[in-house]
């Protein structure tokens, strides 16, 4: 993880936008992606990081995204990336276990889009 992405996490925690344990969880998940060979930088994973932080906090606070106007478009795009959807679902299961936070399907699918994009960037390296 590069310095800028680490700063992003610190800002979310320091400003109180996200609980410290959620920041720790996301940092650990990013470290796992990094260890698996993904390039985890502000450029490649900044949006993924923000989305995951805020999705987990929204879900914890009872304000999870349950309707998304473009959900069918997202589903169609993910049909070509089943591995990203599986990866996002596994991450959601770990979040439920570690944080007692349930991410609804819409959030998991949106997270899967970020993971699919990360993989596409890796393929272009």
5 — pLDDT class (breaks 50, 70, 90) = very high
Q: Per-residue pLDDT averaged across 74-90, rounded?
A: 85
Nearest Cα to 12, choosing from 2, 26, 1? 26
On whether the CB atoms of residues 110 and 84 are closer than 8 A, the answer is: no
Tell me what the mean pLDDT of segment 17-29 comes to.
97
Residue-level pLDDT at 96: 96
In sequence order, the 6+-apart residues with CB closer than 8 A to the CB of 23 are 9, 10, 12, 13, 53
Q: What is the pTM of this model?
A: 0.89
């Amino acid at each position: 993880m590069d310095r800028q992405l680490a700063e992003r996490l610190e800002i979310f925690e320091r400003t109180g936008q996200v609980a410290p344990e959620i920041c720790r969880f996301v940092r650990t998940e990013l470290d796992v992606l990094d260890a698996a060979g993904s390039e985890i930088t502000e450029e490649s994973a900044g949006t993924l990081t923000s989305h995951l932080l805020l999705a987990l906090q929204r879900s914890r606070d009872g304000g999870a995204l349950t309707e998304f106007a473009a959900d069918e478009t997202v589903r169609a795009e993910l049909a070509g990336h089943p591995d990203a959807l599986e990866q996002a679902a596994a991450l959601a299961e770990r979040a439920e276990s570690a944080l007692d936070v349930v991410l609804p399907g819409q959030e998991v699918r949106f997270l899967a889009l970020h993971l699919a994009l990360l993989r596409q960037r890796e393929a272009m390296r």
